[in-house]
Amino acid sequence: MDFPTQARTVPKTLMASILLLLVLLMPALQITGAQSVGVCYGRNGNNLPSESDVVGLYKSNGIGRMRIYEPNDPTFQALKGSNIELTVTILKNQLQGLTDAAAATDWVQKNVQAYSPDVKFKYIAVGNEVHPTDPETQYLLPAIQNIHNAIVAANLQGQIKVSTAIDTTLVDNAYPPSAGKYSDAAKSFITPVINFLASNGAPLLVNVYPYFSYTENPSQIDIAYALFTSQGITTPDGVKYQNLFDALLDAQYSALEKANAPNVEIVVSESGWPSEGGDAATTQNAHTFYQNLINHVKGTTGTPKRPGKAIETYLFAMFDENTKDGAEVEKHFGLFSPNKQPKYQLTFG
């Protein structure tokens, strides 16, 4: 075969068209592409902005991922065409009803299919922080399976992964991180869930809070280690950890390995630091934590167990929530005040 001695040139009109297409696509590429930071949008407040204003705030700040805690039509409507990737949570008081396959199908039809593809669903978190002593443990796996089957029936399994969100307390023996394992109490309900995730290529969602780990043990943990500002520590088994976040996350990976699920990825579905209402809850500490966390998870350092890649992470939360239950500190995790003014100068993108 004869080969031309000179490469063919692309016609100028075609090149101009390609360049124009790239320019038009850039906003969409910028908001999703390498974006690894999302923000949780909790709505436990009586003074919060409208859903359309909230979505506008995400867009103007370059926040490309959102997690919500229940289906909400005004939020879905505001998200249409935004290209923001969405995680929808099903709270644990809803799990028993979803053990009925028909109810799960109805849930997916009403809360996903009715808005897709205009809303860019990414994960469905079936259950948030189910604990071994909760009666809902018996409903967790059947609900996950039924929601997953409904997603498959809707032919959306390539786009949407079904999982659950746990907190770090299901893992004990978390120091050194290599020793992390699921507690005996947690194993019975979480192991079948992990097997399901592994077989379906879905990640495990984990809420990771260095703040609470620090405040529960301030005599043993340096606050600088929790805020990403220390020189790090070397664990008894010789591994260097620069910060508490990585240590907590790797303890979770160790538990997955011991549960014969080394290939299950972890998405950090919540992490944050409060600005008031508790020990070490100051605006300065929160600002330091959030910006350092953003920089870390967007980079390619990773953790000692999972080096060399960004960590998909959702900051908690978009707003202070003045009607949230629990301790006073729970009301002050917001990145923004309800009047939409930023509490901290952060760079998300």
CB atoms within 10 A of CB 187: 17
Structure tokens belonging to residue 97: 């009803």
Q: Rounded to whole angstroms, how far apart are CA atoms 79 and 82?
A: 5
For helices 137-153 and 184-200, angle between their N-to-C axes, nearest 10 degrees? 10
pTM of the model: 0.90
Q: What is the pLDDT of residue 349?
A: 72
Give the bridge partners for 204, in sequence order.
Answer: 266
Q: Of 129, 257, 276, 328, which one is the catalytic site residue? A: 129
**Residues 125, 128, 131, CA angle at the centre, nearest 5°?**
135
Q: What is the pLDDT of residue 31?
A: 37
Contact criterion met (CB below 8 Å) for 301 and 238: no
DSSP-assigned letters across all residues of 187-213? HHHHHHHHHHHHHHTPPEEEE--HHHH
Contact criterion met (CB below 8 Å) for 165 and 270: yes
- Concerning whether 270 is annotated as a catalytic residue, the answer is yes
Contact criterion met (CB below 8 Å) for 295 and 233: no
Q: Rounded to whole angstroms, how far apart are CA atoms 242 and 106?
A: 46
CB atoms within 10 A of CB 14: 10
- Output phi, psi for 151, to 5 deg: -65, -40
Low-confidence ranges of the chain (pLDDT < 50): 1-34
Q: Rounded to whole angstroms, how far apart are CA atoms 284 and 161?
A: 36
Structure tokens belonging to residue 25: 């696509």
311: which residues sit within 8 A by CB, 6+ positions away? 36, 249, 268, 296, 297, 302, 303
Q: Of 51, 70, 257, 270, which one is the catalytic site residue? A: 270
Task: Please give the distance of CA 87 from its chain centroid, rounded to a whole number.
Answer: 8
Measured between alpha carbons, how far is residue 41 from residues 243, 267, 269, 311 in Å? 26, 17, 12, 19
Task: Please give the distance of CA 128 from its chain centroid, rounded to a whole number.
Answer: 12
Q: What is the pLDDT of residue 36?
A: 66
Q: What is the pLDDT of residues 274-333, one digit of tens each?
A: 999 999 999 999 999 999 999 999 998 999 999 998 999 999 999 999 999 999 999 999
Q: What is the pLDDT of residues 158-180, one digit of tens each?
A: 999 999 999 999 999 999 999 99
6: which residues sit within 8 A by CB, 6+ positions away? none
- Concerning whether 136 is annotated as a catalytic residue, the answer is no
